[in-house]
Structure 1
Amino acid sequence: MKDLHSFGWYASRITPHLSKDFFKPVPARLWGGFAYLLVVVAGLLAIGLFDLHIIINIVIAGVLGASYAAMGFLGHEILHGTVVKTAWLRNFLGAVAFWPLSTGPRLWRKWHNMNHHVHTQHDEKDPDAWPNHEKWIQNSLLRTIYRLPFGVRAFFSFLSLSVQFSMHGLKMFIEYIKDFNPKNRPAVLLQTVLPWATWIGIMFWMGPVKWLFAFLFPLLIANFIVMSYISTNHRLNPLTPVNDPLANSLTVTVPKWVDVLHFNFSYHTEHHLFPSMSPKYYPIIKQHIKKMWPERYHEMKMSNAMKALWNTPRIYYKDNELIDPHKKNTFGTLGNGLDGAKQPDPEVMKKTV
């Protein structure tokens, strides 16, 4: 593994080349969120008030799922303070944006901002890092899962993307609620429970069948979209003892119109260098990174990154490899045998230990 540097080391070398305006909040980003909110309200009312043909309900469910995911991307941006700086307004807008994904702003800032960003891909401290071989040995459930044939395991792993964000959010609530000051715990609990109470209340209003199209199916779609990004953000990168975003993060490339719809969420290495900067400016940050450290920067087409995820296990071996523990096959990570510029070939990536 190349010599590692902290995200501050990189940021300090790029910052002199940037305008001070890059570090100001961009409240105009809220117009996109307002558009999505109108779409969501219209979709919910259409399903709730009218007896529509099932095909129309399916289409609306797809639009709602895509909208729920996009609102989550904006909520992530808001809660980093890049849209508005006023704390109460930031938390309120972040709560609204994350409402479909039922994630409270206090929990998100604790889990994501304070732990994931500070300790990215640290095998003990990053709440989003996948386990290493030693943890696999100690976990009977993981050992059972990894006895399944590779293809079956990959299929169910991809299928689970449709629930992973919601399940991980619940795990983070259980894990971190004790870390909050006792006087703040009721607010954290309320921010977690209230969105679910709202969606359950909507079920009683429109009935369980319509609710499937208004919330449950869209939630599965939103989970899959969000987790497709989150899974490719770091899970092909090595574990790192130093929080080096050029080593432990991946920027995926998607069509420009997708970046517009998803608020530039694909620029993930850039985000880990400048988490308090609006993603509006990340294409420019990308240019600076590729000019200064082209040999360190990792980017990959989203389709290729998803194929690489399918073709590799998620257990780390010696930090910079992934291992299929029963067959003893190891696969390179980005910067350690996996080339983000090429179509992933599982036979090339694989070796036996």
Structure 2
Amino acid sequence: MTEEQHLREYTKALKARLPRHFFEPVPARLVYLPVFLALFGLCAWGIVATPHVWLKLLLSFGIGYAFVGLGFLAHEILHGAVTKHPMVRSVAGTIAFMPLLVGARLWRKWHNVEHHGHTQHPHDDPDAMGALESAIQKPFVKWLFRQVPALRSFFLFFSFTFWFSLHAHMMLRRFLPEFKPHERPVVVFQAVLPVLVWLLVLFWAGPLNFLFIYLLPWLMANFIAMSFIATNHLLNPITETNDPLLNSLTVRNPRWLEWLTLGFGYHIEHHVFPALSPKYAHVVAQKLKELWPERYNELPHWKALFYLWKTPRLYRDHRNLVEPTTGQVFGTLGFGLDDGKFRRFQSTQRKLGKKGLRE
């Protein structure tokens, strides 16, 4: 793997090779919004109407998929890949993110500005994992990394069932003070509105039906969304320069599943052109592979999740992950971890200070 290069080097080369209409919004994608809302409405009505628990559970999976689809669609809308109209973008994004309890204005600050502007930066990316030195200062992290790796991986994957929504709440607390005073009421309103809506659904449907209409689908949507989000960057190196071919990963699924998930797995392509519709992501992927085949990171989704299970989530340095209980070092993508072989390196360069976290 060569050294880092800046995002603009990729965009400049690719824009000369891609049709101009690729960089225009695709309003037709907005049709997914009423489709997913209709799926939710039909399944919710069915859950209330049927006395059979097994049928309620089956319909709950339908709502779970609607929630996942709405989340992926919200991501598109709020990047401007569907429409550039500010009001349509804000309203549609607010509605689509309602199941996952995320406000549209907060998302644009947290995700569009901070995450995309500082992807995998060790200090400035709000979604990046920490380095060993800073993490061990936190009591919970210190306790967590005393656990055996398999148990820790189980905790990580279990947290997928709620982490996206919880992380959104943490980002609200972090970034709310950075909004201008006249913007804060909108940010707070968009955060509170989903909670009020789902409370009304609770009163309408009752506790048992609410379990199937919202709680189980919410857990499912969080898990599926995080199964993509966690593989987007957490196997990649930390980068000081915003280099999407180094700090991002595209995950592939069967074509039918990529269609159902709106092409969200094309993540390198998204970080190169955030406002480009996923409709064109496969073409951008082909161009990236032609121009920078040695830099492009792509894995089957299942294999990326396997690597996520087998590796720790602390960085020893910019290129390597470290298992603090043993001192073992794991390469990141492009630096020892790839889809050809899973290589694990024993650390000989560094011992944990004061015998590491075991003390």
Q: Shorter-chain TM-score: what band?
A: over 0.9
Residue identity in the other structure for 1:351: Q
Give the SS at the match of 2:299.
strand
Corresponding residue of 1:27 = 27
Which structure 2 residues correspond to residues 152-301 of structure 1 after superposition, within 5 A? Answer: 152-301=151-300
Corresponding residue of 2:357 = none
Distance 1:184 1:258, change over 3 A: same
* Deviation of 1:320 (Å): 0.9
Residue identity in the other structure for 1:166: S
Residue identity in the other structure for 2:74: G
Q: Distance in 2 between matches of 1:51 and 1:43?
A: 10
* Deviation of 1:65 (Å): 1.0
* Deviation of 1:126 (Å): 0.3
Asked whether the 8 Å contact 1:263–1:279 carries over to 2, the reply is: yes
Q: Distance in 2 between matches of 1:351 and 1:246?
A: 27
Residue identity in the other structure for 1:29: R
Deviations 1:52-80 (A, max 9, x none): 31111111111111110111001000000
Q: Name structure 2 gaps, 5 residues minimum.
A: 349-359
Deviations 1:182-214 (A, max 9, x none): 111111001000101110111111111111110
Q: Distance in 1 between matches of 2:189 and 2:44?
A: 23
* Deviation of 1:91 (Å): 0.6
Corresponding residue of 1:39 = 39
Give the SS at the match of 2:117.
coil
Deviations 1:148-199 (A, max 9, x none): 1111111111111111101100000000111111111111001000101110
Deviations 1:123-170 (A, max 9, x none): 110000001111122111101001111111111111111111011000
Give the SS at the match of 1:162.
coil
Q: Distance in 2 between matches of 1:349 and 1:29?
A: 43
What percent identity do the matched residue pairs reach?
A: 42
Residue identity in the other structure for 2:164: F
Q: Distance in 2 between matches of 1:135 and 1:2?
A: 28
Q: Distance in 1 between matches of 2:51 and 2:311?
A: 43
- The total of aligned residue pairs comes to 348
Corresponding residue of 2:316 = 317
Is 1:349 equivalent to 2:348 in the alignment?
Answer: no
Give the SS at the match of 2:315.
strand
Asked whether the 8 Å contact 2:47–2:55 carries over to 1, the reply is: no
Give the SS at the match of 2:41.
helix
Which structure 2 residues correspond to residues 4-83 of structure 1 after superposition, within 5 A? Answer: 4-48=4-48, 50-83=49-82
Residue identity in the other structure for 1:247: L
Residue identity in the other structure for 1:142: V
Q: Give every structure 1 segment of 4 or more consecutive aligned residues whose post-TM-superposition deviation is greater than 6 Å.
A: none
Corresponding residue of 1:86 = 85
Corresponding residue of 2:356 = none
Q: Distance in 1 between matches of 2:136 and 2:35?
A: 48
Asked whether the 8 Å contact 1:66–1:225 carries over to 2, the reply is: no
Q: Distance in 2 between matches of 1:351 and 1:209?
A: 51
Q: Distance in 1 between matches of 2:118 and 2:206?
A: 44
Q: Identify which range, 135-144 or 305-314, moves more after superposition.
A: 135-144
* Deviation of 1:352 (Å): 2.9
Corresponding residue of 2:109 = 110
Corresponding residue of 2:305 = 306
Asked whether the 8 Å contact 1:162–1:224 carries over to 2, the reply is: yes
Residue identity in the other structure for 2:344: M
Is 1:139 equivalent to 2:134 in the alignment?
Answer: no
Deviations 1:307-337 (A, max 9, x none): 0000001001111111111211111100110
Residue identity in the other structure for 1:5: Q
